[in-house]
A and B are shown apart, each in its own frame.
Chain A
Amino acid sequence: MPIDYLPILVMVVVVVAFAAIALTLSSLTGPRHPTAAKLEPYESGMPPFGSARRRISIKYYLTAVLFILFDIEIIFFYPWAVLFRQLKLFGLVEMGVFVLILLIGYVYVWRKGGFNWD
């Protein structure tokens, strides 16, 4: 029912109102001393240099894709680890199959030279 979502609407209104009030008040009442250092995009960071549209080696792309591939798999280990005792042998075998398939992918990437930088 739409009425059930009323609290969410109330919260949205409160959040928007709070942000608007806080920003308006601080800009009206706060002191203002602009200096060169303060006007930089990142106050304590590195000064930006060069164009942001530099060419970047395509090798980073492969690295990033491989990272995502093998990193995402870790997510599946967490629920499995939490429920390991309840899943018993079934869970162990299933995870074994899963890891084996991953390992084949790893061997494939390795043998194809996916980890070589040069």
Chain B
Amino acid sequence: MPILVPDINLRIIAPALIVTVTAIVVLLGELVTPAERKRWLGYLSIAGLVVAAFAAFSLWGANASGFSGMVVADNFGLFLTLTIALSAALSILLSIPFIHAHEIDQGEYYVLLLASVAGMIVMATATDLIVIFLGLELLSLPLYILAAFQREDTRSLEAGIKYFLLGAFSSAFFLYGIALVFGATGTTNLAKIAASLAQSAGSPMLSIGVGLLMVGFAFKVALVPFHWWTPDVYDGAPTTVTAFMSVAVKAAAFGAFFRTFQFALPALALDWRAVAAVLAVLTMTLGNVAALLQSNVKRMLAYSSIAHAGYILIALVAMSANGLSSALFYLLAYTVTNLGAFGAVIALSDGARERLEIKDFAGAAREHPLVALALTICLLSLAGFPPFAGFVGKFLIFGAAVETGWAWLAVIGVLNSLVSVYFYLRPVVQMYMSEPAEGWSGIRVAPLVALALLIAVISVIALGVFPAPAIALAAGGLIR
């Protein structure tokens, strides 16, 4: 029997390859770099991400597929690749001073982060359930370790263990879903699943498989009721890792989520859109209501990230071209906004001592007016105020929902945004209207953190004021 060698098309996986090679080089660099020069490994990682982003940009519009239709370089995947690379680069900028202050500056930190990025890119560009699973595992395993990277801190270890156990559990669900879908359709290729569904309406086995796939994705993007790990993991993990996890994992997992459901399963007899709509309502409502009750900024942002996953799910329910592009835009907007918010929280920390309680922010505006302004802008953007990126993102998503007859879902989304204003403004009120807390004097904001914050805030404002170019890019991101 002749062996079927798949069509090797290294060009279309160039971004993931470049990130992988960078990770390997950083791993070797870790062996020869003395302790006081570890930050150069961070710069090297950023350089690799920039090259990967250029590779992704050069593929724009190529719409090529390879490896027997398992991986594709379409604009949808490339947009997500760019978003993921941006979030990783900003996270590393925040991480270099952060892990130094916490005495965990080891090259392995960057290696794991880059490995996770490679997995995310694979997941966002995969068109086969097995490759999606491969990307899912590759992105998850390094994150389990990164969550527990502060080895001396029991809460960080707890976060790592919790994330690992629940993540492994969700992977099992996902894999079982793949098995059942394969049993029902005879293929794991998304295009072939779509073709097989066009001929027959599907079977109970397929419906159960699709349900399990949805559970697997829901775990990764933290949809209610599969969100229980999120607050504890986001709270315990090192703040920079939380920042990275909260944005990049969502971009990658939602990418595969949209590709699988909107592209492969539109003709499924079972109405998964109704299920997704219910999940979206639950996720938005519970995320926002729980965030109201938090006194810790990291936990508040964790619940807020749950709520934002709910908003993005509305775009999936809409299941239209506009829904798809609005989700891409929202993911980009959420990435820069949330990284900005976490960056400001990191900027306000005092060396290894972090200020994570909302009441600790009292009077920050007097001591650090620029950081306070940046945090205010990012929180307003998360709440969906114009003229910031979050507003445009919400506007596009709710617009897509109304267009396709899901107006009631959009109304619930708007109501939820109103609720969220209260808790997003609490740190702002503390910063501007309270007497300064003690210990503000002598805090220097690290230049790299300031740079990351500047990039994030400029992006938040630019995406809010001139959203047209980014919307145009996202609109070109039709799934191939």
Q: Which A positions have Cβ atoms within 8 angstroms of B?
A: 83, 86-87, 90, 101, 104, 107-108, 111-112
Cβ contacts A to B, 19 pairs, < 8 Å: A83-B3, A86-B2, A86-B3, A87-B3, A87-B5, A90-B5, A90-B8, A101-B24, A104-B24, A104-B27, A104-B28, A107-B28, A107-B31, A108-B27, A108-B28, A108-B30, A108-B31, A111-B31, A112-B31
Complex Cα gap A101–B27 (Å): 11
Extra inter-chain contacts (17) besides given A90-B5, A108-B31, CB under 8 Å: A83-B3, A86-B2, A86-B3, A87-B3, A87-B5, A90-B8, A101-B24, A104-B24, A104-B27, A104-B28, A107-B28, A107-B31, A108-B27, A108-B28, A108-B30, A111-B31, A112-B31
Give the chain A neighbours of B5 by CB distance below 8 A: 87, 90
Q: Which residue on chain A has the smallest CB distance to residue B2?
A: A86
Closest residue of A by beta carbon distance from B111 = A108
Contact with A along B18-37 (1 / 0, CB 8 A): 00000010011011000000
Residues of A within 8 A of B2 (CB): 86
Residues of B within 8 A of A108 (CB): 27-28, 30-31
Cα A108 to Cα B30 with chains together (Å)? 9
**B3 neighbours in A (Cβ, 8 Å):** 83, 86-87
B176-211 contacts to A (CB < 8 Å): none
| B28: A residues at CB distance < 8 A | 104, 107-108
The B contact surface, by secondary structure, is helix
What residues of chain A lie closer than 8 Å to B24, measured between beta carbons? Answer: 101, 104
Q: Write the nearest CB–CB distance from B328 to chain A, whole angstroms.
A: 33
The answer for the CA separation of A104 and B23 in the assembled complex, in Å, is 11
Chain B residues with Cβ below 8 Å from A83 are 3
Q: How far is the CB of B208 from chain A (nearest CB, A)?
A: 16
Across the interface, which residues of B come within 8 angstroms of A104, CB to CB?
A: 24, 27-28
Chain A residue with the shortest CB-CB distance to B1: A86
- Least CB distance from A115 to B in Å reads 14
Question: What's the least CB distance linking B157 to chain A, in Å?
Answer: 15
Q: How far is the CB of A99 from chain B (nearest CB, A)?
A: 13
Q: How far is the CA of A101 from the CA of B23 in the complex (A)?
A: 11
Least CB separation from A105: chain B residue: B27
Closest residue of chain A to B21, judged by CB? A101
CB-defined contacts of B30 to chain A, threshold 8 Å:
108
Residues from chain A with Cβ under 8 Å of B27 in the complex: 104, 108
Closest residue of B by beta carbon distance from A94: B8
Bound CA–CA A107/B24 (angstroms): 12
> Once bound together, how far apart are the Cα atoms of A108 and B31, in whole Å?
7
Which chain A residues lie closer than 8 Å to B8 at the CB level?
90
* Alpha-carbon distance between A104 and B3 when the two chains are bound, in angstroms: 30
- Cα distance A107–B31 when bound, in Å? 9
Interface bits B36-74 vs A (CB < 8 Å: 1, else 0): 000000000000000000000000000000000000000
- CA gap between A83 and B3 in the complex, in Å: 8
In Å, the complex CA distance between A90 and B5 comes to 9
Q: How far is the CA of A118 from the CA of B24 in the complex (A)?
A: 28
- Chain B: CB-nearest residue to A100: B24
**Which positions 409-463 of chain B face chain A at CB distance < 8 Å?**
none
| Inter-chain contacts of A86 with B (CB < 8 A) | 2-3
In the complex, what residues of B have CB within 8 A of residue A101's CB? 24
Q: How far is the CB of A106 from chain B (nearest CB, A)?
A: 12
Bound-state Cα–Cα, A87 to B8, Å: 13
Name the residue on B nearest A101 (C-beta).
B24
When distances are taken between beta carbons in the complex, the residues of chain B under 8 Å from A90 are 5, 8
Complex alpha-carbon distance, A112 and B28, angstroms: 11
Nearest-neighbor residue (CB-CB) of B3 within chain A = A86
CA distance A101 to B41 in the complex (A): 19
Write the chain B residue with the least CB distance to A88: B5
